[in-house]
Structure 1
Amino acid sequence: MAKDLTCQDKIDMQALEKRHKELEKAWNDLLKEKREVEARIHTLEQQEKQFEMKWEMLIRETQQLADDKKQFERKKKFYDHVQANNAQQEYGVTTSDNIVHGEMFFSGVSTQKALKKRYKDLIKIYHPDGDAGDTATVAEINREYEDLKSQMN
């Protein structure tokens, strides 16, 4: 008779089975929610990496834009100065500051080899024995060349 289950035991057993199914469903729901949260975390991590890459690119491009602007302004200043000198020579006007400053001549030069080539080309143009020759401008070119050469070493 010990093996025979009473009606109350059967009810208790059914309640336990029902409770077990509820707990199993709750467990599966939690596991599903955990996977969804992990997927969202992974997505956010990927978005954060993309944002960092875009941010770094934006910083580099902004710096490049600033450098390009600076170089453009130097070139513009140089060309304005050259045009002013040409206009002065055309009309026979002379000024006391007829020197083109050296940094204008070497704008955009970033390597030792390019610096040396630019220097040689400038000396050919502005040597005092030439048509466009000017001792003060050559002195300025020499000064700036030496400064840049020492900075690049």
Structure 2
Amino acid sequence: MDATVDYKVDNNLQNTKMELDETKHKELLELKKELELEKRRLEISKREFEIRCAFEKKCKEKQDELFRKRWAKLESEVSYLAKERDQLKRQKKEFYEELDRAEQNREKNVVSGDMFFMGVDSELALKKRYKDLVKIFHPDNVSGDIYTIQEINREYDNLKKKLYAI
């Protein structure tokens, strides 16, 4: 009987071993499937990461390029404004120099009033000459001149006093 029990125990052991091997094999297959699935997920994540990195790199390159273009445009505009400012300064300087020259010429060109009234020896001739001169040199006229009209008025007043004094 011992042999039968040993045989049964051996057979049981073999069956148990086979079941264990089968369970082990199934578990290994399941683990292998899970590992393959995890490997695929990891590869997908890796591809997504690489795509995201490539996209971010392209975005960064485009931002850098846009920045460089805007910076160059800004520098060119600043340069243009500096040139414009310098030109405006030159024009302003030239304007004031011309204004000073005109003022100096005006001071030089002020004529004496007695020149306008040469040959006037009567009150009637004085008034007629005065009216004619005012028509010509009045500041509202195109050829009008403030300084000349002031000189004419001054000389007219002087001559009028002299003629009325006689």
TM-score tier after normalising by the smaller chain length: 0.3 to 0.5
Q: Max radius of gyration: which structure?
A: 2
Q: So what's the TM-score if we normalise by structure 2?
A: 0.41
Higher relative contact order (CA 8 A, sep 6+): 1
Q: Tell me the TM-score normalized by structure 1.
A: 0.44
The structure where helix makes up a greater share of residues is 2
